[in-house]
Chains A and B, each alone.
Chain A
Amino acid sequence: MEAIVKSFFFHTGRYFLMMRQVFSKPEKFGVYKKEFFHEVDNLGLNSLPIIAIISFFMGAVITIQAAYGFTSPWVPIYAVGFTARQSMILEFSPTMVSLILAGKVGSNIASEIGTMRVTEQIDALEIMGVNSRAFLILPKIAAFTLINPFLILISMFLGVIGGWIMGVITHVVTSYQYQTGIQYQFDPGNVTYALIKATVFAFIIASVSAYHGYYTDGGSLEVGRSSTKAVVYCSILILVFNFLLTQLLL
């Protein structure tokens, strides 16, 4: 138990010390800007296909399951559309998609930086006089924190569309009923809540994965371990912060 507590404080302290270096003044703004746009493409736009496919089909499944569950005559059928919208906006898109991205983006960041560590590329940066923490991590955090809310918005949209299309095709709901449902008691505050969650989760994914990659020690086996650790810790932190933010914002 003592070892776990010690390890917790050691890693927390080292994480915050690393973050202090990450947010120090860049040596050359132009070079960082180029890296930032590279990361927007690498971490954000490359994640779009998987998000689109998952969101579309998840919206469809939520719609069919809602229709299956609402058997009471007291529940109007447009509640199917309402349920699909609320599920996508409040929980599925910001939280579940972020958990999926913790796997894809988190392992990508941890293994990329970890490989740079074990092949001495980070040492090479340090020898040149480059602040390696800032150069490698800041563009990733900035890019992913900025792009993730847009990815989540696209996920919400595609999820609702997926529910609509598949709901109509499978005849569980009519187009009119679904449209009525998705407009029923719409609160834009829910979208704001989801986007705040998306931003916080993106920061967690980028920074925690980068931490595990940066402090990789050893060879290819350790790169794999860092990558796994990054996904596990990101997932746990996302669930914890999901609870905290929900408690605070709703």
Chain B
Amino acid sequence: MLELKNINKHFGDRHVTKDFSCKFDQGKTNLIIGESGSGKTVLLKCMVGLTQVDSGEVLYDGKDFIKMSIREKQHLRTEIGMLFQGGALFDSKTVEENVIFPLAMFTDMTQEQMLERANFCLERVNLKDVNHLYPSEISGGMKKRVAIARAISTSPKYLFCDEPNSGLDPKTSILIDKLIKEITLEFNITTIVITHDMNSVMEIGDKVVYICNQQKWWEGDNKTILHTDNKELNDFIYVSKFLRELKEKQA
């Protein structure tokens, strides 16, 4: 389980996260939604230590990440998988080498075992015959799937996804969402997804946290979110004329 307590973060005079507290459960896909510039990605980077928090606690199974030594942090990070917005695959390595990389770095597996594991992970994300291609030779959706395969190769306890659907068509987006959901259930991991895609919220949102004005504004799930009377959240969800009309018809 991952818990955030009173997280605060400033960039100069600008407050990007105000007193954010939340619990994210194991075996569930936890979504953080909000408008662009609301501080979602900064919050995610604070959780994994890529950005230093000004104050607050980031508790991984009760242990504060911020107070850990560099070695302890490095050890914990071997239990973390992360899917970046652009995939962040290593350009100089093939798809197979990308997936094998964390295994080669942190396990004592033989080359055959690593290959077997890489093939399993690639098959798990429905990728075949791409092992020897470079990231520049595959599509955006495939890059995301390779990044998921790399993230799950070491069987992480925590999976962080930063806007996994950005730049993808609706069909591929739903495929990626379903994949994240399936992997979360299959490996019983704590998954945190940053998104502003309402399709993702409805598809996989076991828990949904809405950030507005740099703080937690609403918390619930994909069943309750459509019936909320929270004005800001409704403005966010029903931003298009089509959805507003649909809601009015349903009402």
Contacts and interface: CB of A to CB of B under 8 A. Distances in A.
Contacts of B160: 127
Contacts of B106: 27-28, 128-129
B50 A123 contact: yes
Contact of B88 (A28, A121, A129): A121
B104 A128 contact: no
Contacts of A27: 105-106
Interface of B: 48-50, 73-78, 80-82, 84-86, 88-91, 101-102, 104-106, 160
A123 B77 contact: no
B50 A130 contact: no
Contacts of B89: 121
A131 interface: yes
Interface residues of A, number: 17
Contacts of A3: none
Nearest to A123: B50
A115 B88 CA distance: 11
A28 B75 CA distance: 14
Contacts of B88: 119-121, 123-124
Interface in A104-122: 115-116, 119-121
A27 B86 CA distance: 26
7 contacts: A27-B105, A120-B85, A121-B90, A123-B50, A127-B80, A129-B76, A129-B78
Contacts of A31: 104-105
The 8 A-B pairs of least Cβ separation, nearest first, read A129-B77, A124-B88, A120-B88, A129-B74, A129-B78, A127-B82, A120-B84, A128-B102
A121 B147 CA distance: 11
B86 A120 contact: yes
